[in-house]
């Protein structure tokens, strides 16, 4: 890319559970660590890397074979000029919306992580402020295990989301 100045595309694909999400993270991290940000935008690198926290929260869910399965596809465009990163944006985001709109009692799969993080991270008072009642979040999260490890993981994810949104 630096030698020819031409556009480049990296396509990450594979079967479910093959490691596409993790490999895509490594590619982005490699690009961010080997390139210089233009105009002294030191926070640009960390903001691009924090984007994964948000996208995974809104797009990953527990499935029968993977507790952190990506249920989305994205086109992340990272812009360069003179060998420097000048910006990034998600051009397309395709979401498996059935996970939200078609929730049945027999479903053995989880909803998107954002819902679990939201309900585990909010205080009872904040839930009242959002007019959320127990039966509403039971409907959204049904099929959820009461595993303490999961609750701690979602609570940490909630704080990571807050941090990513505060600093973006």
Segments making up each domain of the chain, as ranges: 20-167
Task: Name the pLDDT band for 155 (thresholds 50, 70, 90).
Answer: very high
Q: What is the second-level CATH architecture of the domain 20-167?
A: 3-Layer(aba) Sandwich (3.40)
pTM of the complete model: 0.76
Per-residue confidence (pLDDT) for residue 42, from 0 to 100:
59
Q: How confident is the model at residue 158 (pLDDT cuts 50, 70, 90)?
A: very high
> Nearest-CA neighbor of 8 among 33, 38, 40, 31?
31
Side-chain half-sphere exposure of 3, counting CA atoms within 13 A: 0
* Residue 146 pLDDT > 90: no
């Amino acid at each position: 890319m630096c030698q020819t100045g031409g556009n480049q595309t990296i396509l990450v694909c594979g079967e479910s559970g093959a490691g596409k999400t993790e490999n895509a993270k490594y590619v982005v991290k490699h690009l961010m660590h080997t390139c210089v940000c233009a105009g002294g935008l030191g926070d640009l690198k960390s903001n691009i890397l924090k984007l994964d926290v948000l996208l995974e929260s809104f797009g990953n869910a527990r499935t029968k074979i993977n507790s952190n399965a990506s249920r989305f596809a994205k086109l992340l465009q990272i812009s360069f000029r003179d060998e420097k990163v000048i910006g990034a944006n998600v051009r397309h985001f395709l979401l498996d919306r059935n996970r939200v709109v078609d929730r049945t009692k027999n479903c053995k799969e989880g909803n998107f992580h954002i819902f679990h993080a939201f309900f585990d991270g909010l205080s009872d008072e904040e839930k009242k402020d959002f007019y959320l009642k127990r039966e509403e979040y039971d409907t959204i999260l049904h099929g959820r295990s009461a595993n303490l490890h999961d609750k701690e993981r979602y609570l940490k994810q909630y704080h990571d989301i807050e941090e990513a949104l505060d600093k973006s």
